[in-house]
Amino acid sequence: MSQLPDYVQVNRLHWDRQAHEWVEMGRRAWQQEPQWGIWGIPESDLDLLPSDMANMGAIELGCGTGYVSAWMTRRGARCVAIDNSQNQLNTARSLADQHGLDIEFLHGNAETVPYPDESFDFAVSEYGVAIWADPFKWVPEAARLLRPGGELSFLGHHPMVMLAQHREVDDEVTRTLLYSYFDLHRVDWTEGEDSGTEFNLPISRWMRLFEQTGFDIVAFHEIRSPSATARKSFAVDAAWAHDYPSEQAWRLRKR
């Protein structure tokens, strides 16, 4: 534990403490067709997964309760799923047993995955490493793990959310920008002993990072809430997310 970066240690403690709160949500996600993000956007709208994953090797980076790996396994993929939280993995393994799906679960930091270069055809993260790991570490690691022509899809907070929310957890997103867009990188949230560290970048910096690590952009989505009157989701009001993008989703291909 002491050899891990400080934010990885903090996030491991955070998610081990929080894991019990996500069991029921994970159980529901295992039972449904792919729906993404805090608004449950259908896969048909975002196209983040290959429709046929037969004989593909896939890895989920920061898997939480493992439901994205379940979606991929049902599409024919051979899945590996890694997460920083042992308690989250306990839930994931239990659900895999209940559904009779063969998924390899690893406990570890997804910035350094114990697999050789070019081991996978597809990598994915939904609110896993996409927000909880340093993009300057995890994006090159994803590139290392993928074979040429392999794809990476990930979804997480849009930078706008990070700029319009006070750095105390559960404070609502405001209509006032509070922080520098161009300095966006590491965000340390204040929540007592359950504090956590997230990461994001300006859109242009994401694009430069992809270019530097050998990725071409296949698709980019700035996600809007389905309606201004939908339920509030976490700290994001649906009306806010109908006017401004609350999430971003990328699909990339390794050159």
pLDDT tens string 174-216: 999 999 999 999 999 876 556 799 999 999 999 999 999 999 9
Angle at the Cα of 15 from the Cα atoms of 159 and 198, rounded to 5 degrees: 20
Decide if 57 is inside a domain: yes
- pLDDT of 167: 81
Q: What is the pLDDT of residues 115-138, one digit of tens each?
A: 999 999 999 999 999 999 999 999
User: How far apart are alpha carbons 81 and 59 in whole angstroms?
Assistant: 6
Decide if 246 is inside a domain: yes
Decide if 37 is inside a domain: yes
Decide if 128 is inside a domain: yes
Contact by Cβ (8 Å): 77, 60: no
Decide if 163 is inside a domain: yes
Q: What is the pLDDT of residues 215-248, one digit of tens each?
A: 999 999 999 999 887 776 678 999 999 999 999 9
Whole-structure pTM value: 0.95
Radius of gyration of the chain (CA): 17
Decide if 236 is inside a domain: yes
User: How far apart are alpha carbons 158 and 155 in whole angstroms?
Assistant: 9
Name the pairing type of β-strands 35-36 and 41-42: antiparallel
Element (H, E) at 105: strand 104-107
Decide if 173 is inside a domain: yes
Decide if 1 is inside a domain: no
Structural domain boundaries, residue 237: 6-254
Sheet holding 120-126, edge to edge: 104-107, 78-83, 57-61, 120-126, 146-157, 247-254, 215-223
Contact by Cβ (8 Å): 218, 253: yes
- pLDDT of 1: 64
Q: What is the pLDDT of residues 46-58, one digit of tens each?
A: 999 999 999 999 9
Total domains present in the chain: 1
Please report, for the domain that includes residue 96, its CATH number.
Answer: 3.40.50.150
